[in-house]
Structure 1
Amino acid sequence: MKHTTPHCKTLVAAIALAMAGPSLAASSVVISQIYGGGGNNGATYRNDFIELLNTSNQPVELNNWSVQYASATGGSWQVTPLSGTLAAGQYLLIWQATGQGGSQALPTPDFSGNIAMSASAGKVALVRNQTALACGSNCAGAAEVADFVGFGSANASEDKPAPAPSNTQSISRKLNGCQDSQSNSSDFAVGSVNPRNSASQSVTCSNNPTDPSKPTDPSEPSQPPSAIRIHDIQGQRHLSSLNGQSVSRIPGVVTQVTAGGFFMQDTLPDNNPLTSEGIYVFTKTAPTVAIGDAVEVSGKVKEYRPGGVDSAQLTVTELESSMAQIKITAQKQALPAPIEITGKIPARYWQGAAGDVETSPQLDLKNALDFLESLEGMRVSVTGAQVVGPTQSYAAHDTAIVANYRQQTTLPNQRGGITITEDERNSGRLILVSGNAVVPEANVGDSFQYAVGVLDYNFANFRLIASDLAPLSRGNLQAEITRAAAADELTLASFNVENLDPKDDPAKINRLASQIVTNLRSPDVVGLMEVQDGNGATDTELVSAAATMEVLLNAIRQAGGPNYSYRQIDPARNQDGGEPGGNIRQVLMFNPARVSFIDRSGATANTAVNSVACAEIACLTHSPGRIQPASSAFNNSRKPLVGEFMFNGHKLFVIANHFNSKGGDQPVAGRFQPPTLSSEVQRNQQAQIVADFVRDLKILNPNAKIAVMGDLNDYQFSAPLAKLKAAGMVDMVEQLPESERYSYVFEGNSQVLDHILLSENLARFAEYDVVHTNAEFADQVSDHDPEVARIRLPQSIQDVTAQFSLSKSGLVLDLKTKQYRSQVITRAVTAAAGNYRLVVKGLPAGVSLANATATSANGPYISFTAGNTVQLQFSNPSKQAFGYELAVEQAVFNY
């Protein structure tokens, strides 16, 4: 699974950010944004949502309040309860129904409901109780209603309805949510969806929010020009010494404009390499400045921390201001020349003392974090900007790049990316995002001759907001196809199919099938991760994945693949993590024409499988079975699935895994160095349980053939993988050259998350391949690449002729078939019941056994059961005299 943080149903604590105080008038909390297109075809986001804002300067208690929705003409109101305290100027995000469309996930909700809202017309009410409104279709004036919004063709509203939103646009209250003239049509505008939760930047609404031109600092016109410059505000460390202080008439030239502010840069630098000359001005509303405007800005210095005050991200030094505090002194000014940073970013994020880098008294430019901080908000340029992470489908088209065509990177790989190691995290990467210049969709290996923009920090990465971008040069990266396996090679594959369900776009399902058949060459056994139930993320009692597997197996057959079978165990509802309602699980899919599955029935979601002694030395109590499903190590996480297989007389135990994600870990480019890997605690526990299960099998059978595979969500050099290796498992990815060890690309870092580990008695006969089909491409059907291991396991044969008495008849010419016939009576002397091969040896050239089952190293043979008579048919076109000898062989089972 890719790197994500888990969703939550309610985050009451997140809105209780202020001490409880007396509630103000109901009108102080308003409905600030409505989006009903979530999850529709072509939608921006996957969820509908309702957003609230406290426009007052006091906290407001929302205990026993609710938001309610009715259709455009209906009077039946659906309710989502609220609680807690909403701080002054704070937003509140309330998720509603999830759909199958939508390209983005919303920010973490403060509350969640399941109301399916219309994309274009409806009514939303903020209500002081949690009882469904009984006032019919028009409740705009009801006493219990704190705020009311009708939109589109709604038959009720404050004054006139707000305009109609769509699948790609929301309606938002103007002035960042502050405007409230009691007219929905006047107060709301249609625009880009901009969901804000309680962790978003708070706002301050003026006493007259409908008059944005009113100065908030009436003394400003009489103030003298400031002696303070941008470099004084930025200072020589991460945190400004002026944080929280008001400053006035700070000069600069506008270099980039955003939806809620702009960047500006001083044209008179201080020549101190530690102090940045650029800064972001947060205006809350869309600024009325243009690139090239010379401005003087008054406002408050603030260290804004993306992700919230408790986030591990670095802060961004800002000026909080408003257009009333900004004076344009000239227009169409030349912009400061960008600073070329190609080849200058240090090779390590941090080389100082462990801890919080923001506490360091001064920047140290040998650290990448400090070097980039010294350029925060400034115009910079990159030459030879090579794409090392595919474009993500966000509005800004986030694309990871490194400078100088990767010439200064430690471990470039053959396909155009950068592979990380235990000590190297690719500190030179930047996330290129659309600004004045729009970033085109790009794959790993593509490049720009140059990129110019403003250096920003957000989403735990340094970001280059593009203002000037060379045309994209295509690297023409192609998806890989692994080699075909030999007849005596067992092929094991692992593939995270990213929340597969039957409602997925058929194009995705067909492409997954094509990758399995064509790129992976139809492996004998495929461990699938993230297979959802039959209705996907719709949260119902259904947990069966039968419908999901049916569409995939049909698509595989249509693509020319084998008639696969599969085994899996349905999880308990909503207990295995992943997308809420999806009930993801692992599935063992196999080709019955090549391998046999040993079924031992009776296991349910909560049945723990064990290993036991048996006639085959070691067996499972259940096959398939789940390993310790009740252990706290697997809380809200997928349980390992194990099954027994037979191939060419060899028995294998295959364990398919999907360990918990890396969500919650501190970022590699964050304030805490080295980062704390909090998610690793649970993965360590999970790996230990699987390692102990492997050891138990080996205690029963030291020669047990075992494969542990799947999305382990960690690196080959990580502590969880070390636990599996300590149990005698060989991580096959380490058989590849170091630069080729990756199955996933995260924000420009090629890394290993998917593994196939084999017991040593398999590993020494195995060849491994990561088949790069997805992770490097913007147009991907999964964020993971599949992997495959080919293991040479020839059938073992022994000569058991001495255990039989064989009587053969003479040769008779069949005039109809023109073939010579004979028969052999087989009598077992000491042989046991079972299947054998009657081998015909010593046939001269020109004579063949026409009805042979197959040919072994000793000659053609016919399969038979002891005590039966075997018919032989010989082709002898030249009618020559011939004789032959007989032998009996038996396949040896290797447990």
Structure 2
Amino acid sequence: MKVPATLLSALGLVSAATIAEINGNRFNTPLNGTAVTGVEGLVLAKGPNGIWIRSTNPDDDDRTSEAVYVFNRNVVSAVAVGDVVTLDGTVFMYRANNLQLYLTEVTNPTNVKVVSSNNPVKAYVIGEDTANPPTEEFTSLDNGDIFAVPNDVVRVSVANPVLEPSKYGMDFWQSLNGELVTVKSPVGTTRPNQFGDTWVLGTWPATGRNSHDGITMTDKDANPEAIVIGTPLDGTSNPETKMGDKFVEITGVVTYAFGFYRILPLTALVVAEEASTETSPTTLKSTGDCRGLTFGSYNVENLWAGSEHLPAVAAHIVEYLKTPDFLFLQEIQDNNGPTNDLVVSANVTLATLAASIEEKSGVVYDFVEVAPVSNQDGGQPGGNIRNAYLYRPDVVELWNPNQGGSTDSAVVLDNGVLSFNPGRVDAANEAWANSRKPLAAAWRAIRGPKNKPFYTINVHNGSKGGSSTLHGDPRPPVNNGVEKRGQQTEAIGAFVDSLIAQDPKARIIISGDFNEFAFVQPQKTLTGKHNLTELSALSLPETERYAYVFDGNAQQLDHMYISPALVKPSAKIEHMRISSWLRYPDITSDHDPLVSYLNVCGC
């Protein structure tokens, strides 16, 4: 009679366990902490700290992986790829921290015996020898929305659901954990991260494909079909690459580490065909009056007067943004940047940027800012990042200017006049603790019919830093700071409402780095409760709405919203791909800028 594995596990011993029994059909092994004997498998690959073996006696269950990692340095030199081995050991679930999933291993192997050698080792081709990876959902525990709020409602390690590899991406990769696989015709979806991890797609179907062969996040879909290619097993290093680069066929073992399922390739990636980095400048041209102004928005990444990348930022504004009439800038640092002292003004930083633009184009810009209280707005210590505006004084001017201070809040007075112009939005609100306060201002075009004032709000909301990964244990994944960003967008929305209360046809433009996706609750508040329109949604296909790349996905953190009075057929927006399409060493900022065209006349 076959003794149930659960009973043997309770006794601390399982005799001649198969690899499928070790893995089980859930995320967690049913045999954790159990001594197992006579585990037999074909050696698929060797790494610096262990080997991967595939069962010679597979079951007929797509949910159970037939391969497992044997963790021990000594065993590496004792066997060769192609050996069939038997061994004893202890089943162990490992993870580096409680935001990650567990990896099932066989540890402390003993009685390692080579049964036969020089056996053929076949890699399973993803999408041919296996099913296709699911394209939309990661796990049943997300309840259909990986971006749902609240998040971290349940943990995979606790719920431990039965795998459904045909439905869910994490289940699919878990069902192949430890296997030797091949990705045919791989293409990079973004540039690698700082550790050389490179996300790819193969020949299998994928949703969210954009025009540059990347893959874009969309509502409820963060693209579980993309897979990380991690550190090569032979000690080589993956090259610096970028979105759309095509690679030579990749073969490696599936594992889980650093918060993601990944393939550890047998050797470094080889680029077969490089993607183009050529991007066109904006086609949007100002009329020079209120009937058609151009508005740029750009997170310039810790820019101060001495920044090495300042000339490149100026060149971008001239060559790609085509010196728009108006610029929303984020991450402007004070005059001496990261030097942590009492300096908070960015007048030299902004003047230096304006001078560099003028030198390259002949176009003159003026600027406005409200300096923060030192070290109170987050970012690099001492840098005092803030939002600021550059504007062409031959095209627009402040309307009823009254410079606000660090702790002053702009309030809407009679006839739409701002108490401080420029001024900060709800500056005392706790939602802005250690975060950039929005910068509001009222403007008027120098020329044009009717020529009524229009309003701008420059935004850089709280960071996502500290979030868990898309393949992590908390479900839905931890979206760190989402509650705070929700409070921030509520404060912005309330300010918009106060303008609309004075004039239902108020012309309002809200732009910047919101640190959130359009389809997540903080942003939905703006388009729902506060009746704003995201300009990208008016004129760009869903897969082309991105200005940032992270962990395999093209995504949109930078937005421009407009009030109902500005929603016209002439309203347009374009993204300049001067970051997303480049290798990391070649970027100036980690964000793409955008340019819009709007009629702000009030007629």
TM-score, normalised on structure 1? 0.58
Deviations 1:78-118 (A, max 9, x none): xxxxxxxxxxxxxxxxxxxxxxxxxxxxxxxxxxxxxxxxx
How many residues are paired up?
A: 558
Q: What is residue 712 of structure 1 aligned with on the other side? A: 514
Q: What is residue 467 of structure 1 aligned with on the other side? A: 266
Q: What is residue 340 of structure 1 aligned with on the other side? A: 125
C-alpha distance in 2, partners of 1:609/1:335?
73
CA contact (8 A) 2:548 2:555 kept: yes
* Change over 3 Å in CA distance of 1:574–1:248 after alignment to 2: farther
* Change over 3 Å in CA distance of 1:457–1:752 after alignment to 2: same
* Change over 3 Å in CA distance of 1:286–1:784 after alignment to 2: farther
Deviation at 1:547, TM superposition (A): 4.1
Q: What is residue 452 of structure 1 aligned with on the other side? A: 251
Deviation at 1:541, TM superposition (A): 2.9
What residue identity is the alignment partner of 1:670?
A: G
CA contact (8 A) 2:139 2:170 kept: no
C-alpha distance in 2, partners of 1:356/1:773?
38
Question: Secondary structure of the residue that 1:611 maps to in structure 2?
Answer: coil
* Change over 3 Å in CA distance of 1:588–1:285 after alignment to 2: farther
Deviations 1:269-318 (A, max 9, x none): 41443222333344489965686285666554322224x13x1x322112
How is 1:595-614 mapped onto 2 (pairs within 5 angstroms)? Answer: 595-598=396-399, 600-613=401-414
What residue identity is the alignment partner of 2:597?
A: R
Q: What is residue 377 of structure 2 aligned with on the other side? A: 576
Question: Which of 391, 399, 402 matches 2:192?
Answer: 391
Question: Secondary structure of the residue that 1:757 maps to in structure 2?
Answer: strand
C-alpha distance in 2, partners of 1:786/1:289?
55
How is 1:288-327 mapped onto 2 (pairs within 5 angstroms)? Answer: 292=81, 294=83, 299-306=89-96, 308-309=97-98, 311=99, 313-321=100-108, 327=112
2:556 matches 1:755: no
* Change over 3 Å in CA distance of 1:579–1:233 after alignment to 2: farther
2:221 matches 1:424: yes
Identity, in percent, stands at 30
C-alpha distance in 1, partners of 2:187/2:133?
15
Q: What is residue 519 of structure 1 aligned with on the other side? A: 320
Deviations 1:817-854 (A, max 9, x none): xxxxxxxxxxxxxxxxxxxxxxxxxxxxxxxxxxxxxx
C-alpha distance in 2, partners of 1:694/1:286?
66
Deviations 1:352-372 (A, max 9, x none): 355444434532222221111
2:441 matches 1:640: no
What residue identity is the alignment partner of 2:379?
A: G
C-alpha distance in 1, partners of 2:406/2:273?
51
CA contact (8 A) 1:524 1:590 kept: yes
What residue identity is the alignment partner of 2:273?
A: S
C-alpha distance in 2, partners of 1:777/1:289?
44
CA contact (8 A) 1:660 1:683 kept: yes
C-alpha distance in 2, partners of 1:524/1:416?
33
Higher alpha-carbon deviation: 654-663 or 243-252: 243-252
Deviations 1:550-574 (A, max 9, x none): 4433332333252222111221222
What residue identity is the alignment partner of 1:316?
A: L
Considering fraction of residues, name the structure with more helix: 2
Considering fraction of residues, name the structure with more strand: 1
Question: Secondary structure of the residue that 1:434 maps to in structure 2?
Answer: coil
* Change over 3 Å in CA distance of 1:444–1:286 after alignment to 2: farther
CA contact (8 A) 1:439 1:466 kept: no
Deviations 1:465-485 (A, max 9, x none): 112555421222422311141
Q: What is residue 282 of structure 2 aligned with on the other side? A: 482
Question: Secondary structure of the residue that 1:592 maps to in structure 2?
Answer: coil
Q: What is residue 746 of structure 1 aligned with on the other side? A: 550
Deviations 1:144-175 (A, max 9, x none): xxxxxxxxxxxxxxxxxxxxxxxxxxxxxxxx
Q: What is residue 790 of structure 1 aligned with on the other side? A: 597
Q: What is residue 10 of structure 2 aligned with on the other side? A: none
C-alpha distance in 1, partners of 2:335/2:173?
48
Deviation at 1:449, TM superposition (A): 4.5
CA contact (8 A) 1:226 1:249 kept: yes
CA contact (8 A) 1:455 1:465 kept: yes
* Change over 3 Å in CA distance of 1:326–1:555 after alignment to 2: farther
CA contact (8 A) 1:716 1:733 kept: no
CA contact (8 A) 1:438 1:466 kept: no
C-alpha distance in 1, partners of 2:205/2:381?
43
Question: Runs of 5+ in structure 2 lacking a partner?
Answer: 1-12, 144-153
* Change over 3 Å in CA distance of 1:627–1:293 after alignment to 2: same
C-alpha distance in 1, partners of 2:572/2:500?
23
C-alpha distance in 2, partners of 1:419/1:554?
37
Deviation at 1:393, TM superposition (A): 3.6
How is 1:615-764 mapped onto 2 (pairs within 5 angstroms)? Answer: 617-647=415-445, 648=447, 649-675=451-477, 677-725=479-527, 726-735=529-538, 736-764=540-568
Higher alpha-carbon deviation: 741-750 or 461-470: 461-470
Deviations 1:256-279 (A, max 9, x none): 5555x2341135141443222333
Question: Secondary structure of the residue that 2:184 maps to in structure 1?
Answer: strand
Deviation at 1:518, TM superposition (A): 0.7
Question: Secondary structure of the residue that 1:276 maps to in structure 2?
Answer: coil
Max radius of gyration: which structure? 1
Deviation at 1:599, TM superposition (A): 6.3
* Change over 3 Å in CA distance of 1:233–1:414 after alignment to 2: same
TM-score, normalised on structure 2? 0.85
Q: CA RMSD in A?
A: 3.0
What residue identity is the alignment partner of 1:242?
A: L
* Change over 3 Å in CA distance of 1:682–1:291 after alignment to 2: farther
Asked which structure has the greater RCO (Cα within 8 Å, sep 6+), the reply is: 2
CA contact (8 A) 2:505 2:564 kept: no
Deviation at 1:448, TM superposition (A): 2.0
Q: What is residue 241 of structure 2 aligned with on the other side? A: 442
What residue identity is the alignment partner of 2:533?
A: V
Question: Secondary structure of the residue that 2:189 maps to in structure 1?
Answer: strand
C-alpha distance in 1, partners of 2:39/2:305?
58
Deviation at 1:666, TM superposition (A): 4.3
2:35 matches 1:236: no
Question: Which of 570, 576, 584 matches 1:771?
Answer: 576
C-alpha distance in 1, partners of 2:481/2:80?
43
* Change over 3 Å in CA distance of 1:363–1:723 after alignment to 2: closer
Q: What is residue 265 of structure 1 aligned with on the other side? A: 53
Deviations 1:334-358 (A, max 9, x none): 5631111136112233463554444
How is 1:107-256 mapped onto 2 (pairs within 5 angstroms)? Answer: 227-247=16-36, 250-252=39-41, 255-256=44-45
Deviation at 1:586, TM superposition (A): 0.8
* Change over 3 Å in CA distance of 1:337–1:286 after alignment to 2: closer
C-alpha distance in 2, partners of 1:789/1:756?
8
Q: What is residue 210 of structure 1 aligned with on the other side? A: none
